Chain A
Amino acid sequence: MNGLELVTATFARQNRRASFMPYFPVGYPDYATSLDILAGLAGAGADALEIGMPFSDPIADGPTLQAASQVALHNGITIVDCLRAVQELRTRGVTIPLLMMGYYNPILAYDEARFVQAAVEAGASGFIVPDLPPDESAGFSALTQQAGVAFPQFVAPTSSPERIQLAGERARGFIYLVSVTGVTGARTALSADLASLISRVQQITRQPVVVGFGISTPEKAREVGALADGVIIGSKLVSLAAEGPDAVVTFARQVRQALDA
């Protein structure tokens, strides 16, 4: 199975429960701990992992992930360390899809083609690039297609039916549905319009719909999981990391149980 097939098989819902994809950045609070946490999340029942790659100017991120990114950069973490993290997770026996998530400039600086090749060799299953919309991603998309890996596309509450259609056509793996008009970060309440947004997307595209941004409790994860094919949680896990890796993994288990209930 190539990366795309692995991702598609994971998120295609069929009659199963919603999938759970935690996000955690490489290098926060340090490289070794972030690797332990990512491996722990896989062990806690995650269906896929989103491997965060730090960037100096993360415009789609709220304060929690900005701060984590700065810590990682301060620790000297580069895109090369992120590739190494993917490889080490595979060595440790993690078999679920690993999606590398990061902004475009470090990928450009590495060289897009070389990066995709290196990532696939390391064991990555796909890429999520928030500042590379379909309008700008023809070249990168072709590279990921040749490599047989996933390249999900974003849909936001502001997306028109035409934009949702475009995302549906370009997405490989799933649609990453941004649940709120805003940046990443834990929120106390979910958008009241989320249900209608999810069904709007489902009417336009048959791609799996995975929802992220703002989900911060197992209860909210269950609510979203009842409507969508998958749930992404990031900022909440990063803020829990202050209490140690166990707190992150324990929380992930609770999310898993909530989604399975």
Chain B
Amino acid sequence: MVMSIPDERGYYGAFGGRFVPETIIPALEELTEAYAEFKSQASFQAELAHLHQTYTGRPTPLSHAARLSAHLGGAQIYLKREDLAHSGAHKINNALGQALMAQKMGKRRIIAETGAGQHGVATATACALLGLECVVYMGSVDMARQQPNVFRMRLLGAEVRPVESGSRTLKDAINEAMRDWVTNVNTTFYLLGSALGPHPYPLVVRDFQAIIGQEARQQILERIGQLPDLCIACVGGGSNAIGLFHAFREDENVQLIGVEAGGLGIESGKHAARFADDRRARPGVLHGTRSFILQDDYGQVLETHSISAGLDYPSVGPEHAYLRSLGRTEYTYATDEAALEAFQMLCEFEGIIPALESAHAVAEAIRRAPTLSKEAVLLLNLSGRGDKDLDTVLKALEQRRA
């Protein structure tokens, strides 16, 4: 049912493509060719698999959230524990894959953007492991709210460059990384962290993240002998979600649900829900790809809000837009408030401190599980751990008490 996607031009139906200045088109062509080679090269895949096994800590476990499930009184919730991957989130799957490509392509200088800092940390980690130079662009607003990750990146030998333009969040970090790439394209590899941007990035990132769903599908079949009824993941750019969904795309009875950042609520306009807000979000072109974008009537990109820096982005990966247009995936949202409550519940019932991004997926699981039977199985991608968010959560809880 789902066609061979993307096509040669990087299109997922009406979404995707390569809307970038001419200067970097040759680099994207080079990357596309190199990636096609690495994808089918057994030695590359074996080397990456070995790194994942001996360094990343893959396969990550699948945990049955038994107490939380019992408390909610409905579906059995299983957690794919990407929070236990080295460096604390699923981001390392893609960062290691791309960094290994860069090394083999002879590109010694790596640049990356980061929102929550998880992709920046993963990239800095991969660069330290492989001996590559690393520069990470991060909005100054995000630097303030994710200080532990800034310190981590610097410890890992990366240079963190604050971005002061625009909304000073992930969107602007991507702008600045692209400008760096336009300038240093001959020597530099742009290690993009989510399933967005110009072709071939949405494809490359999805493929490196697909290991999440491949493992989880096998694990749940081994554990309980059946597929889940639904898969849930949070969606900023959408890399952890597409990584989980990909292995289940042809399992027609498995519902695939993405959870966007509802911020202070859709009506407030202070959110990052590209699919939920049909007044502010329309298809358009941002960061080299055609997808849904939160924008004003005149095509200027809107500033977004989320308690989680990693979901605070005005567009979404093109494959999500495509899968949604087919009706294969559905999208909902969780507000800051719901994510905070879910964050606390997972701590208390399961002894797991989730990333605020992942807490959005947990919130949707908490909402849905009671409506389902006790035999129903809900697979949730716990994309990252929450150490980086303790300060934000502490402040939010204090504010709520006040």
List the interface of chain A (C-beta within 8 A of B).
Answer: 55-63, 66, 70, 73, 78-80, 104-110, 130-133, 135-136, 153-160, 163, 167, 178, 181-183
Contacts and interface: CB of A to CB of B under 8 A. Distances in A.
Contacts of A56: 166, 300-301
A63 B288 CA distance: 20
Contact of A59 (B26, B287, B300): B287
Contacts of B288: 131
Given A58-B175, A109-B295, 7 more contacts: A57-B172, A105-B301, A109-B284, A154-B21, A158-B186, A163-B26, A183-B179
A156 B23 CA distance: 5
B19 interface: yes
A181 B182 contact: yes
Interface string B154-170: 00000000000110000
B182 A182 contact: yes
Contacts of B26: 158-160, 163
A244 to B, nearest CB: 25
A105 B22 contact: no
Contact of B299 (A106, A132, A181): A106
A116 to B, nearest CB: 15
Contacts of A178: 21-23
**Residue from the set A60, A109, A110 with the largest chain B CB neighbour count within 10 Å:** A109
Nearest to B301: A56
Given A57-B171, A62-B179, A105-B299, A158 B19 contact: no
B286 interface: yes
10 contacts: A57-B172, A61-B179, A70-B165, A78-B300, A133-B21, A158-B186, A160-B26, A178-B21, A182-B182, A183-B179
B23 A78 contact: no
Contacts of A55: 299-300
A183 B184 CA distance: 10
B139 to A, nearest CB: 13
Interface size class of B (residues with CB under 8 A): 35 or more
Contacts of A73: 300
A193 B333 CA distance: 52
Contacts of A61: 179
Contacts of B271: none
A105 B295 contact: yes
A109 B299 contact: yes
Contacts, number: 120
Contact of B21 (A57, A105, A156): A156
Contacts of B299: 55, 79, 105-110
B286 A57 contact: yes
A106 B298 contact: yes
Interface string B116-127: 000000000000
Given A57-B171, A62-B179, A104-B285, A80 B298 contact: yes
A226 B3 CA distance: 53
A150 to B, nearest CB: 17
B289 to A, nearest CB: 10
A79 B298 contact: yes
Interface in B242-295: 282, 284-288, 293, 295
Interface string B8-41: 0100000001111111111100000000000000
Contacts of B185: 158, 181
Contact of B9 (A107, A131, A135): A135
Nearest to A154: B22
Given A59-B287, A66-B165, A104 B23 contact: no
A128 to B, nearest CB: 12
Contact of A136 (B18, B27, B179): B18
B340 interface: no
B9 A158 contact: no
A182 B185 CA distance: 9
Interface in B210-238: none
B363 interface: no
Given A158-B27, A178-B22, A105 B293 contact: yes
A110 B21 contact: no
A94 B382 CA distance: 61
Contact of A109 (B24, B171, B282): B282
Contacts of A66: 165
Contact of B19 (A132, A153, A156, A183): A132
A132 B20 CA distance: 7
A203 B286 CA distance: 35
A70 B165 CA distance: 9
Closest 4 CB pairs of A and B: A109-B299, A106-B299, A156-B23, A154-B22
A136 B17 contact: yes
B286 A60 contact: no
Nearest to B27: A158
Contacts of A154: 21-23
Nearest to A62: B179
A109 B285 CA distance: 10
B297 interface: yes
